[in-house]
Structures are given as C-alpha cells and as structure tokens.
Amino acid sequence: MSGFMQTAVSQILVKGQFVVLLYFLAVNGWYLILLVSSLLELRRHMLLITDESRHLLLSSTLSPTISILAPAFNEETTIDASLRALLALQYPNLEIIVVSDGSKDRTVQVLIERFDLVPVKTIYEQRIKTKPVRSLYRSSTYPSLVVVDKDNGGKADALNVGLSFARGELVCAMDADTLIEADGLQRMIRPFLYGTDVVATGGTIRVVNGSEVKFGRVVRTAVPTRLLAGVQVVEYLRAFLFGRLGWNRLGGNIIISGAFGLFQREAVLSAGGYLHDTVGEDMELVLRLKRLSYERGGPGKIAFVPDPVAWTEVPESTKVLGRQRDRWHRGLADVLWRHRGMFLNPRYGVTGLVVFPYYAFVELLAPVIEAVGLIALALGLATGVVDWSFAGLFYLTAYGLGTALTAFTLILEDLSFHRYETFRDRALLFWWALVENIGYRQLTVYWRLRGLWKFMRGKKDWGSMERKGFHPVPAG
Amino acid sequence: MISKQLLNIVMLVEIGLLALAVGVFFAHGFWLLLNQRRIRRLTDGARESLSHLVTRGTVNVEDIDALRQLPNDVQVIAFLEMSRNVTGTGKERLSFVARQVGLVDRAEKLCASRRWTRRLRGARILSRLGVVDPLVQQLLSDPHPAVRAQAAEWAAAQPSVPVISAMLILLADPATQARFAVQDALLRMGGIVAGPLATFLERHTGRAAEAGLRVAESLAEPSFGPAALRLSRANDVGVRVAAAKLLGAVGDAAAAERLMELLDDADSGVRAAAAHSLGRMQHWQAASLLALRLRDSAWKVRRAAGLALRSVGAPGVLFLRRAIKEDDAFASDMAQQVLDLPTAAASG
C-alpha cells in the first residue's frame, strides 16, 4: 500500500474508532439510565404486588371479559395441549377464539374431534377487511370457545378476524404455541383496573427451551445448556426486565410482544386493527395506538407488567434464528419508516422526542455502527494501523459495559422473581451473558443488517419457523 | 488514535462493574438459599403453633411465646398463610393471636405511616387477618388509590352501616382501581348492602350511579326496581345500559314493560342490553318485539335479540325459525346462527 493510502486509511480508522467507541458508550450510558429506571419501577411493582389478593379478582363477576385471540397455522401437533392450557387459565370471564389461518394440516379437524365443535352459520360483524372466513365452529362442551377457519392471510389477518369475533372488552393477542402461566391474565389486567388511560399491556416472555413442560404448563424451569437457546434466555431477560420495564417509568413503551399482549378491543378496532403489509405488525399497532392517542385524544398508555409470564420456544438453529432476527429488524425499520412523522416531533411528547430517536439511532442503527466498528478493527489489523493487543482491548472495552449491564439485569431477575434458583442455572446464566459477545452478537449484527438490506429492497416475507413442540424435557 | 491508557481505564471500570454485578448476583443467590431454608424451618414451627391456637380454641402461652419470638418477616408469612385457610371463628382466633404476638400493633403502625407503601402493607396485613380496626376504615379516604382499594378489600369482611356509607361514597372514586375494589367489596358484603345501595341509586346519577348499578345487577334484589326504572331514563348512555341490565336482574312486570320500551332506545348499546335482559328474564311476551330487533341496523342488537329469543324457549325458537325464511338477510342469517349454536354456547 502506498504511503498516502496508508495515511488515509489510518486517519479514517482513527476517527472511526472514536465514533464507534463514543457510540458504544452513549448507548450503554442510556442503557444505564434504563437500568436504574427499571430498578425503581421493579421496586414499586414488588411493593404493590406483595401479598395482594388476586383471588378476589378471580372470583369477581365484575372482572372485564377477556377474549384470547390465538392464531394457528399448521399446529395439529400442539393445538390440543395449547388450547387445553388456555381453557384452564385462571380468569373468570374468558373467551377463547382460535383462528386457523388456512392451515393445510389437520389443525381444524383435531379441534373438531377433541373439543366437540359444531359448525354454525358464518356471519360476523366485519369492521376490518380480512381474507374470507370459511367456517365458524362453537363447542358443545366449552361455551367460551370459538373456532374460526379462514383463508390464509398471515398472522395480522388472523388476529383481525379474531377481533371481529371477540366480544370481550379486552383482547389478548398471542401465538398459538405460547404457554401463558395460569395466573398470567389476572396479573396482566392490573393496569386496566388501575387507570382509564391504559390502551395496552404486555407481559414478560421467557424462553421455555430447557424447561420441563407438562400439560401445557411449565413445571420446572431451567436454563438451557445449548448455546443458541442459552444466549436467548439472557437476551429475553435483558429485553423485558430492563428494556421494557425501564421505559415504563419513562413513559416510553412502544413494544408489546405479539406473543402475549392485552389490548382494549374497541381502541384496536377504531385504529383499524393489525396492518397486513408489515412484518412488525405488533409494534406497528402499538405505535399507531400511541400516535392516535396524541392525535385524537383518548387512552394511550402502554404498560409493561413484569410478573405475568408467557413461555415461548426460541429457535435453536442459526438458520431459523437468523430469519427471525432479520424479520424483527425489517419490522422495526418498516414501523419507524411508516411513522417517521413522529420523529423529533414535539406533538408526540416523549414518544416523538425521546423514544422514536432512541429506536432509530440505537435499535435500528446499532448493527450498522457495530459492523463498521468490527470492519474498521479488522482493517486496522490488516493494515497494521492497530496491533493485536490494542484490538483486543478495544473489543473488550466495547462489549464490556454491555456485559456488565447484562449481569445487572440478572440481578434484577434475582431480586424480583428469581425463576432460576439453582447454582447451576445461575452459573449458566452468567456464562451465557459472557459467551454471547463472542460470535453470537456478531451473528445478530449480520442478521439485522440483512434485515435492513431486505427492507430497503422492499421484501416483506415472514420466513418459516420450525418448532420442536413442548415435549417433556428430561431433568439434568 | 485512542490511547491504550484510556482504554485501560475504561476497561478497569467495566471489570469493576462486572465483578460487582457477579459478586452481588451469586451472593444474593446464596443469601436467598439460606433465607429460604431459614424461613422454611421457622415457618414449620410457626405453622404448628398457629394450628394449635386456631383449632383448639384455648390459649396456650407457650405457643404464643414461640410465635412472639419469631422474626417479623416469618411471623407475617405464617399468619398470612394461615389466614387463607381459616374463616369465621378460626379467623377471629387468628386475629386474636396476631394481636397477642404484636403483629396487629405493628400493622397498625404501618397504617399510620407517611409512606403509602407502608400504609398499603399495613392495610394488607390487617385485611388478611380480618382485624376489625378503625385505622383501616380511615384508609378508605387515603390519598393513594392502591391504599383505598386495599381498605375496600378489608371492608368487604366488615359490613357495618358506617363502612357501607363510606364505601358508597367511593363509588364515584375517580381512580378505577379503588372503584373496582369498592364495587367488588360491596358485592361480597351481600344482601346487607341492598337497602343503602337502593337509597344511593335513587339519589345519584352519572359515574357513581353506573358503578352502583353494576353492583346492584349482581345482587339482583327487587328493592332496586324503582331506582333502575328511574335511571333507565337517564341521559347518560352508560347509565341507561347498566339500568337495563339491572332491570333484567330484577325481573318484575314493571321491569319487563320498561325493557320492551328500551328496545326502541336511540342508542344501540341500550337496545342490546334491553334485549339481553328480556332473554335473561325469559319474558316470552316480548318475543315478537325481539323478533323485530333481528332486523336492527346494529349487529350487537341483532345478536342480543337472537340470543334472547333462544333463551325465551319455544315461542322464541318459533320466531327464530320464521325469521330464517324472511326476506331480510340480516335477520335470516342471525336467526340461523343462533339456532345453530350448541345449547352451552347459546346461554353463555
């Protein structure tokens, strides 16, 4: 390389390092604020719920009706157990609407046979345009069960159909294979009882891989020993316990997981339901509800409640996980682009001035900055601008604070719910918190960059999610 | 270039933070383990002493002393655990023992605290123990809604005229948490609330009346009839809906007559509630009017009318069968759907 070139590359690398390191420090500094915020919020929450009597709510005829919307696509192997677990949820006024989204397997037949379903005339109040409904079933033995069979249109379309059939004041959107803990709804409904300004609440999603499941319930929790599942346990804890809980206190929650969220039905219908042409339909709906609350007035508070738990199976193959992360990032980009009018717009309060820029600069652009940093480091090593010891130090510094924050998240979990009790689980959790920085994080950078690239090219496919199903996992 | 020295400093800070976090994480885990064992060991003993005291009905000084010597947290755990499993005399004995060991005194001190979290904790302990205490009653007017809600929960087990009066005032509470707890508590008090609630409903309108009507609907006492009739003419739609539901629960001739009038109300929610109530009363004389509502412009009214006809029994089913052959596709489809419903789903 010529002297001039070397100097130029050196200059770029030097400046690039500064930018990347400053970005890392700024992001982690913000995370630190979120961590403190979540600690305060968690303390307040624990004080509120310690020794509370939820059985009063459970047996009260005044409790609002909740309609659970469970979209199902080719779930013949798991639908029986999943639905029985839903029917056994501890909530007094419950309606369950299973929407088979054009399943090509025996999902509907299994339901007909095992839940005494009979076909009824298919009419409903269609307030949102959806794919045609083929047939409607009601159960002879479970009065609160409604099964809808419709043409395939995607999860958003299935949820919209479910919204049309629901009669509850609140609707709980979930994935058909999500395992909601028996008292999850009792816990998640609290914000709706506490205030009239709440439009949606979300609960915590935990990773079921490695835990033991019987009859649709998690009976023994354990941290998985396999790498991909293990690091995702740590990721989920971080996302929910300090991400969403932290934003709760700052008034900036805009994400309710599509796997477990509770919404005011009328508000969702008035907003037009879920959008079909986005892969981030859950975040899009929440942001739209928030936006409309600023524009039209009315309830707009999004509350995250940490103690209701739903368990989900996370992908254990890089291929499937990559597709999921790529889709999530495409969804994020799409949602931010659709609502770009909110960006730094004082009309939208905290959401426009703080939350939106955070999601744009931190969540959306993080993989770009991280990739630039990694490439610059590699280039620096290749051109001899940096030596190995410096590169190692730079790498460790960049990821070190993140790891420390993850460790603090583990403390939050331990101080509050401590679901992982054994020494083995603690050691594993800490191990995965360290290991995720070596290889896994870089992989997620690649997947998210791929998602961004696809978004820019206008791709909107979901990709397939292969699941193993909730079979009992041997202890050990 | 960023100096190695700077990176080293940042790195050292990070290592310090990480070491602190790891230390706290594992130390807390270890403490949890020891504490759980300690609590388990101590509560086993406490459970035994408490069951002696609660079931035998005689005061055993040794057992009381043993309970008194327990750490505060274990005392609370043991008493609250026991409170879930006893009622009536057992609960009275439990609150007596709690007073003897000093738990009630401590809870009362918490109730008088400046911090709402402590007041909430105190009210929660006294509620669970079923202690009759004027301090908790005072908390019905606490500035924090969570504390008011907890006091309302306590009040459910203490139905007296002053408590009921205080609770009825709270039906207009702007905080939904407190309002819900008050409604629920009134409901749990049962029939004793009927008289004061009927008087309350005769004098109130708006949000307070709506909240009261919901309680009255579940209590379904005939004495609510006049108030329900009056409120069914209120301007507020929510109040009219709740009044229509209450009329269905009251179920007398005057209620049925008014409900048939409400089938023509300007608001679809009120019409649907009226249809639902007529079905609940199985008022077959309204079948022809309900059949007309199968042609209503609002889905929820057609649906409620169809289900009501099904509830009415043979005359209703006859109207539904006739409706299937009608020219009006809305009426025909709804009638068919309702007739298709399995019995369990139709009554749900």
Give per-residue pLDDT as tens, B104-144: 999 999 999 999 999 999 999 999 998 888 889 999 999 99
Q: Which of B1, B18, B127 sits opposite A14 (nearest CB)?
A: B1
Q: What is the ipTM of this complex?
A: 0.85
According to the model, what pLDDT value does residue A2 have? 61
Distance from CA of A215 to the nearest CA of B (A): 25
Amino acid, single-letter form, for residue A386: V
> Are A62 and B26 an interchain contact pair (Cβ–Cβ within 8 Å)?
no
According to the model, what pLDDT value does residue B85 have? 84
User: Which pair of structure tokens corresponds to residue A313?
Assistant: 């199976």
In 3D, which of A356, A201, A246 has the Cα closest to residue A291? A356
Write the pLDDT tens digit of every residue in A334-376: 999 999 999 999 999 999 999 999 999 999 998 998 888 888 8
Amino acid, single-letter form, for residue A66: I
According to the model, what pLDDT value does residue A472 have? 40
> Residue A305: helix, strand or coil by DSSP?
strand
- What is the full DSSP assignment across A57-69? HHT-TTSPPEEEE
Assess contact for A157 and A276: CB atoms under 8 A: yes
Mean pLDDT value of segment B239-258: 95
User: Which backbone phi and psi does B69 adopt, to 5 degrees?
Assistant: -80, -5
**Cα–Cα distance measured from residue A363 to residue A376, given in angstroms and rounded to the nearest whole number:** 21
> Are A400 and B300 an interchain contact pair (Cβ–Cβ within 8 Å)?
no
Residues of chain A with pLDDT below 70 are: 1-3, 5-6, 9, 54-59, 460-476
According to the model, what pLDDT value does residue A194 have? 79
> Are B14 and A408 an interchain contact pair (Cβ–Cβ within 8 Å)?
no
According to the model, what pLDDT value does residue A297 have? 86
Cα A403 to Cα A26, A179, A232, A397, B176, distances in angstroms: 15, 29, 14, 10, 41
According to the model, what pLDDT value does residue A473 have? 38
> Are A138 and B334 an interchain contact pair (Cβ–Cβ within 8 Å)?
no
**Cα–Cα distance measured from residue A101 to residue A117, given in angstroms and rounded to the nearest whole number:** 17
β-bridge pairing A117-120 and A260-264: unpaired
Q: Is A104 exposed, middle or buried (0-12, 13-18, 19+ CB in 10 A)?
A: exposed
Cα B69 to Cα A393, A458, B21, B75, B118, distances in angstroms: 56, 70, 35, 9, 23
Mutate to test the interface with B, among A411, A422, A423 (most CBs of B within 10 A): A411
Mutate to test the interface with B, among A397, A418, A425, A432 (most CBs of B within 10 A): A397
Enumerate the residues of chain A whose CB falls inside 8 A of the CB of residue B214. Answer: 62
Task: Search chain B and give the residue with CA nearest A418.
Answer: B29
Q: Is the pLDDT of residue B147 over 50?
A: yes
Count contacts between A and B (CB, < 8 Å). Answer: 151
Q: What percent of chain B has pLDDT over 70?
A: 99
Distance from CA of A368 to the nearest CA of B (A): 21
User: Which pair of structure tokens corresponds to residue B263?
Assistant: 């089938």
Distance from CA of A472 to the nearest CA of B (A): 27
Q: In sequence order, what are the residues at sequence separation of 6 or more whose Cβ sits closer than 8 angstroms to the Cβ of residue B17? A: A401, A404, A407, A408
Assess contact for A69 and A100: CB atoms under 8 A: no
Residue A185: CA count within 13 A, CB half-sphere: 29
User: Which backbone phi and psi does B267 adopt, to 5 degrees?
Assistant: -95, 135
User: Which backbone phi and psi does A311 adopt, to 5 degrees?
Assistant: -105, 140
β-bridge pairing A117-120 and A133-139: antiparallel
Mutate to test the interface with A, among B9, B17, B193 (most CBs of A within 10 A): B17
Which helix (H) or strand (E) is B266 found in, with range?
Answer: none
Cα A302 to Cα A61, A144, A249, A355, distances in angstroms: 26, 28, 11, 13
In 3D, which of A330, A57, A334, A313 has the Cα closest to residue A207? A313
In 3D, which of B307, B260, B265 has the Cα closest to residue B288? B260
Enumerate the residues of chain B whose CB falls inside 8 A of the CB of residue A196. Answer: 176
In the numeric block, the tokens 């007094």 are attached to A92
Write the pLDDT tens digit of every residue in B186-197: 998 988 999 999
Q: Which of A62, A385, A408 sits opposite B180 (nearest CB)?
A: A62
According to the model, what pLDDT value does residue B240 have? 97
According to the model, what pLDDT value does residue A471 have? 46
Enumerate the residues of chain A whose CB falls inside 8 A of the CB of residue B14. Answer: 396-397, 400-401, 403-404
Q: Is B143 exposed, middle or buried (0-12, 13-18, 19+ CB in 10 A)?
A: exposed
User: Which backbone phi and psi does A306 adopt, to 5 degrees?
Assistant: -75, -25
DSSP state of A170: E
Task: Search chain A and give the residue with CA nearest B300.
Answer: A125
Quickly state the pLDDT bin for B346 (edges 50, 70, 90).
Answer: confident
Mean pLDDT value of segment B270-276: 97
Task: Search chain B and give the residue with CA nearest A196.
Answer: B176
Q: How far is CA A103 from the centre of its chain?
A: 24
**Cα–Cα distance measured from residue A15 to residue A18, given in angstroms and rounded to the nearest whole number:** 5
**Cα–Cα distance measured from residue B259 to residue B270, given in angstroms and rounded to the nearest whole number:** 10
Angle A235-A236-A239 (CA atoms, 0-180°, nearest 5)? 85
Q: Is B269 left (phi over 0), alpha (psi -120 to 50) or beta?
A: alpha
In the numeric block, the tokens 């309900």 are attached to B290
Assess contact for A218 and A211: CB atoms under 8 A: yes
According to the model, what pLDDT value does residue A59 have? 65
Q: In sequence order, what are the residues at sequence separation of 6 or more whose Cβ sits closer than 8 angstroms to the Cβ of residue B216? A: B197, B198, B201, B224, B227, B228, B246, B249
Distance from CA of B7 to the nearest CA of A (A): 7
pTM of the shown model? 0.88
According to the model, what pLDDT value does residue A71 have? 94
